[in-house]
Structure 1
């Protein structure tokens, strides 16, 4: 016998749906006595994933917009990130490489863990620290006209990315 676990981080409604589907499929074995309340040898886990057109794509950072300022990245190929299906993000931050992990929750919410990077000294004028520090503050994502937008909380900033194979927009 094994306990059935439900990952309810996907939200209360999805968790309830998973339980209902599991029970409707006959997953619960009716028992009496010491094992009562247990489910048979199956485990259910609900997890959210990024849309397939975001995963395993190298995204180039093209800009950062805040309510007060805008940064246009002159060399987007030097600032990239790639989301993996396994919950990892690999990135290029100018002359440094980095890695982190991400967690998704309902309503396009995303959380990035602190980024571990190499410690090369990049050229003067590098946006390396602006890039990595703002990525760590991201709280949601969406796509617009083929671009990936990562937003910070309270409309404090938006990082815009394009697929690496995309041509610059005029």
Structure 2
């Protein structure tokens, strides 16, 4: 794993895409009549909440975006306002996925539909969102941020990682395990 904070975010994205792509691969079976693996879906919800949202989006929203604002990138509008809006949308979709899982015991048809809609939303949102960050925002950050800002990000990211360390490895292992599934 690279020491550069921007590269850390790119590395995080690879794990997030592994989980998103796996969810997407499950959708046809869930839409059909295959048994629903609620355990894997719940782990995916936990991964999206803890790894993608609290840890990864936390690094972006609490540390990277404010550094970009300090470097005169506008806080609202493109790109920061748009990306934050997509983070909010991602949280809603993960909540919807959890709602669907929780419905499985009482209304399977509705549960499957809710789960599939959530997965469809997640599969549409995340690859595009990640592409915008990897292709546009991160290179811009590398150009605009001073060495002092990059060092401050390193320190801040290390602190976020420390706070989330107890489940970080677990979530990375989960994402990797889906590759072999």
Fold equivalence (TM over 0.5): no
Work out which structure has the larger RCO, using CA pairs closer than 8 Å and 6 or more positions apart in sequence.
Answer: 2
Q: Which of structures 1 and 2 has the bigger CA Rg?
A: 1
Greater strand content: 1
Between structures 1 and 2, the one with greater helix share: 2
Q: Provide TM-score, normalisation by structure 2.
A: 0.24
Query: What TM-score comes out, normalization by structure 1 length?
Result: 0.25
